[in-house]
Chains A and B, each alone.
Chain A
Amino acid sequence: MKMLTNILSSVLRPRGAAGQLWGQGSAALMWTDFWELSMRALAPFMTAVRGAGGNSTTEATFETRPYKLHRLEEPPLPSTTCTRDDALLYYRQMQIIRRLESASGNLYKEKAIRGFCHLYSGQEAICVGIRAALRSEDSVITAYRDHGWAYVMGCSVVGVMAELTGRSQGVARGKGGSMHMYAKNFFGGNGIVGAQVPVGAGVALANKYLGRKAICVSLYGDGAANQGQLFEAYNMAKLMNLPAVFICENNGYGMGTSVDRASASINYYTRGDYVPGIWIDGMDVLSVREALRYSIDYCTTGGPSGNGRGPLVLEVATYRYHGHSMSDPGTSYRTRDEIQEVRQTRDPYNALQGTYCWRRLGHCGGA
Chain B
Amino acid sequence: MVGVLQKLSVAWRLGRQAVFRPVVQAGWQHVRNSSHFTYYPDTVPESHDETQRLNLFQAINNALDLALATDDSAVIFGEDVGFGGVFRCTIGLQDKFGKDRVFNTPLCEQGIAGFAIGSAVGGATTIAEMQFADYIFPAFDQIVNEAAKYRYRSGNLFNCGKLTIRAPCGAVGHGGLYHSQSPEAYFSHTPGLKVVVPRGPIKAKGLLLSCIRDDNPCIFLEPKVLYRSAVEMVPTSDYTYPLSSADILLEGEDITLLGWGTQVHVLREVAELAREQLNVSCEVIDLVTILPWDQQTVCNSVKKTGRLIVAHEAPVTSGFGAEIAAAVQSECFLHLEAPVERVCGFDTPFPHIFEPFYLPDKWRCLSAVKKMMNY
B111 at the interface (CB under 8 A from A): yes
Summed over the interface, the residue pairs from A and B with CB atoms below 8 Å come to a total of 115
A223 at the interface (CB under 8 A from B): yes
* Interface size band for B: 20 to 34
B155 at the interface (CB under 8 A from A): no
A60–B31 Cα gap in the complex (Å)? Answer: 50
Does the CB pair A333–B83 fall under 8 Å?
yes
A115 at the interface (CB under 8 A from B): yes
Please judge, given known A-B contacts A169-B22, A174-B353, A176-B352, whether A114 and B106 are in contact too, CB under 8 Å: no
Does the CB pair B138–A227 fall under 8 Å?
yes
A177 at the interface (CB under 8 A from B): yes
A112–B32 Cα gap in the complex (Å)? Answer: 9
Does the CB pair B179–A227 fall under 8 Å?
no
Does the CB pair A116–B176 fall under 8 Å?
yes
Q: Which residues of B contact A166 (CB under 8 A)?
A: 30, 352-353
Closest to B26 in A: A165
**Which one, A111, A116, A169, A261, contacts B104 given CB within 8 A?**
A261
Q: Which residues of A contact B24 (CB under 8 A)?
A: 31-32
Closest to A224 in B: B107
**Which one, A114, A168, A180, A228, contacts B110 given CB within 8 A?**
A228
B residues 89-134 near A (Cβ < 8 Å) are 104, 106-108, 110-111, 134
A95 at the interface (CB under 8 A from B): no
Does the CB pair B107–A255 fall under 8 Å?
yes
A179–B137 Cα gap in the complex (Å)? Answer: 18
A residues 173-207 near B (Cβ < 8 Å) are 174-180, 191-195
A194–B106 Cα gap in the complex (Å)? Answer: 12
Does the CB pair A192–B178 fall under 8 Å?
yes
Does the CB pair A263–B106 fall under 8 Å?
yes
B residues 333-356 near A (Cβ < 8 Å) are 351-353
A338 at the interface (CB under 8 A from B): no
CB distance from B113 to the nearest CB of A (A): 11
Please judge, given known A-B contacts A161-B26, A332-B83, whether A116 and B175 are in contact too, CB under 8 Å: yes
Please judge, given known A-B contacts A175-B351, A177-B352, A180-B177, whether A254 and B23 are in contact too, CB under 8 Å: no
Closest to B104 in A: A257
Contact with B along A101-118 (1 / 0, CB 8 A): 000000100111011100
Closest to A158 in B: B23
Q: Which residues of B contact A112 (CB under 8 A)?
A: 26-28, 30-31
Please judge, given known A-B contacts A192-B178, A226-B106, whether A114 and B173 are in contact too, CB under 8 Å: yes
A32–B26 Cα gap in the complex (Å)? Answer: 11
A74–B108 Cα gap in the complex (Å)? Answer: 34
Does the CB pair B27–A179 fall under 8 Å?
no
CB distance from B49 to the nearest CB of A (A): 37
Does the CB pair A227–B177 fall under 8 Å?
no
Q: Which residues of A contact B111 (CB under 8 A)?
A: 226, 228
Q: Which residues of B contact A169 (CB under 8 A)?
A: 22-23
A32–B27 Cα gap in the complex (Å)? Answer: 10
Q: Which residues of B contact A89 (CB under 8 A)?
A: none
Does the CB pair A110–B27 fall under 8 Å?
yes
Q: Which residues of A contact B134 (CB under 8 A)?
A: 191-192
A126 at the interface (CB under 8 A from B): no
CB distance from B79 to the nearest CB of A (A): 6
B86 at the interface (CB under 8 A from A): yes
CB distance from A328 to the nearest CB of B (A): 8
Q: Which residues of B contact A228 (CB under 8 A)?
A: 108, 110-111, 138
A123–B176 Cα gap in the complex (Å)? Answer: 25
A327 at the interface (CB under 8 A from B): yes
Does the CB pair A115–B80 fall under 8 Å?
no
B40 at the interface (CB under 8 A from A): no
B364 at the interface (CB under 8 A from A): no
Q: Which residues of A contact B138 (CB under 8 A)?
A: 192, 194-195, 227-229
By a beta-carbon cutoff of 8 Å, the part of chain A in contact with chain B is 30-32, 107, 110-112, 114-116, 158, 161-162, 165-169, 174-180, 191-195, 223-224, 226-229, 254-257, 261-263, 327-328, 332-333
Given A30-B27, A226-B108, A256-B83, 20 more contacts at CB 8 Å?
A112-B26, A112-B27, A112-B28, A115-B174, A158-B23, A161-B23, A167-B22, A175-B352, A176-B177, A177-B353, A179-B176, A179-B178, A191-B176, A192-B137, A227-B108, A227-B138, A228-B111, A254-B106, A257-B80, A333-B83
21 A–B pairs (Cβ distance < 8 Å), ordered by A: A30-B27, A110-B27, A114-B32, A114-B174, A161-B26, A162-B22, A176-B177, A176-B352, A178-B176, A191-B134, A223-B106, A227-B107, A228-B138, A254-B106, A255-B79, A255-B107, A256-B80, A262-B104, A327-B86, A328-B86, A332-B83
